[in-house]
Amino acid sequence: MTTPRPWRRHAGWLWLSLMSFTTLLILITYETRWVYPEIHAYFSQTGNLTGQQLATRSRDYLQEGLGVLLEAPDDEAAREQAAFRVDLAYSLFDIGLYRREYACTEPSLDSLDGLSRRLSAGDVLTPAELNRHLLGPIGCLTEIEMDQLDRRSEVTSAFVEDTRRHQGVVLGGSLVIFLMGLVFWWMHERQRRNAVRATRESLRWMGRALRDPLTGVGNRSALHEDVMAQTGQAMSLMLIDIDYFKQYNDTLGHPDGDRLLRRLALLIDESLAGQARLYRMGGDEFAALLPCHDGCGLARRCEEITERLREAAIAHPGHPENRCVTLSIGAACFIAGEAGFAAGYAAADRALYRVKEHGRNGWEASEGEDAQANRVDANQA
């Protein structure tokens, strides 16, 4: 499983926050540019503003009628036209709202009624009479128009104010959402980092718990874990013990003894050429774990280690025989698993013991069922 690169993870979060923020901004712009102007336009034409439109049209009819009468006061047809317009004006003027709210409505309607009757009767009206009949209603209608216009601008201003407030709330809300996104992202990041740190820490501790601090190779617990991880597999175990290590420490001191342990760990590891895993069992004893695919070739492996050591010719002033560091090796094959490992370990340990018994500086390996069959006496090596 691959973990996404940090910048990608951050970019993902930021991208999400930005996207939601941008979407909200688009919504606000859409509302401001298209929705509100449309509502605004609607209010301008309808709503309680109908009254203003009726008054305007009524006044227009009256003015038209007046114009017709002033142009041809004696003309029968003109009078009919004027009467028709006055009737229209009357019907647009005669609405409950005007009667209720404008005191000038009743007398104006009476005046128009009188004018209508005189025109229907075929009376020729003088300009003074026309003025008397029409000036009052026209003035009243103008007053109504102005008042309705004032009301319209009040409604419009209130609407604009509401719109502005609404936009402020939406903008503030989107900013809060954006900031919350950032806070959640930050909290998530912090939690993730803590988890990564804790995992690393525990891995480090686990690593330490399975490692020999002096040589850096695995310890006894690591050997056990590795064997259990291969349960059912054919494996082999080599137990490698330094000869006369006590004398080495006694003659050269413990720091040199430590250095020798480190050097031997390296040497054994190299001579097994990465085919085995190396462990320090404690004191001066190492263990090597090898897979056995087509026979373990244990004798060859043991021979390689002793050969490498012979070539290295590491001085050992306290060695009673050849004054160089030597090793004793016991090796055995086993089937990985709790019981198999115990048996393999015991067999390798017995082999090592026999090598020590035969005078050290040698190896004994037993492969397969017959432990004696491939046994090589120590001093033959």
Residue 360 DSSP one-character state: S
Backbone dihedral angles phi then psi of residue 108, each to the nearest 5 degrees: -65, -40
Q: Which stretch binds ligand GTP (CB under 6 A): 114-122, 252-260, 265-273, 372-380?
A: 252-260
Q: Which stretch binds ligand GTP (CB under 6 A): 58-66, 114-122, 165-173, 244-252?
A: 244-252
| Shorter beta-carbon distance to ligand GTP: residue 152 or 360 | 360
Quote the CA–CA distance of 239 and 126 in Å, as a whole number: 140
DSSP bridge pairs for 218: 211, 279
Tokens of 293: 């695919």
Query: Does residue number 136 form part of the binding site for ligand GTP (CB under 6 A)?
Result: no
Q: Is 214 in the site for ligand GTP (CB under 6 A)?
A: yes
Stretch that binds ligand GTP, among 36-44, 101-109, 196-204, 254-262 (CB under 6 A): 254-262
Task: Give 87 or 212: the residue with its C-beta nearer to ligand GTP.
Answer: 212
Is 243 a binding residue for ligand GTP by CB under 6 A? The answer is yes
Size of the site for ligand GTP (CB under 6 A): 16
- 323 lies in the site for ligand GTP, by CB under 6 A: no
Interface positions, 268-307, toward ligand GTP (CB under 6 A) = 283-284
**236: exposed, middle or buried (C-beta count within 10 Å: 0-12, 13-18, 19+)?**
buried
Q: Which of 245, 334, 341, 363 binds ligand GTP (CB under 6 A)?
A: 245
**CB under 8 Å to 41, separation ≥6 — which residues?**
none
User: Which run of H or of E encompasses 152?
Assistant: helix 127-209
Residues 298, 299, 304, 310, CA torsion sign: positive
Which residue lies nearer to ligand GTP by CB, 90 or 245? 245
Q: How far apart are alpha carbons 318 and 247 in whole angstroms? A: 5
* Ordered DSSP codes for 262-273: HHHHHHHHHHTT
Question: Is residue 216 classed as helix, strand or coil in its secondary structure?
Answer: coil
- CA-based radius of gyration for the chain: 55
251 binds ligand GTP (CB under 6 A): no
Q: Least CB distance from residue 193 to ligand GTP, whole Å? A: 38
Cα separation, 271 vs 291, in Å, equals 16
Q: Where in 330-369 is the site for ligand GTP (CB under 6 A)?
A: 356, 360
Of the candidate residues 164, 254, 262, 300, the single one contacting ligand GTP (CB under 6 A) = 254
- List 241, 269, 364, 367, residue binding ligand GTP (CB under 6 A): 241
> Minimum distance from CB of 337 to ligand GTP (Å)?
29
Report the residue number, 244 or 341, with the smaller CB distance to ligand GTP.
244
Q: Which residue, among 77, 153, 170, has the nearest Cα to 122 in the 3D structure?
A: 77
The residues that touch ligand GTP, with contacts defined as CB under 6 A, are 214, 241-246, 249, 254, 257-258, 261, 283-284, 356, 360
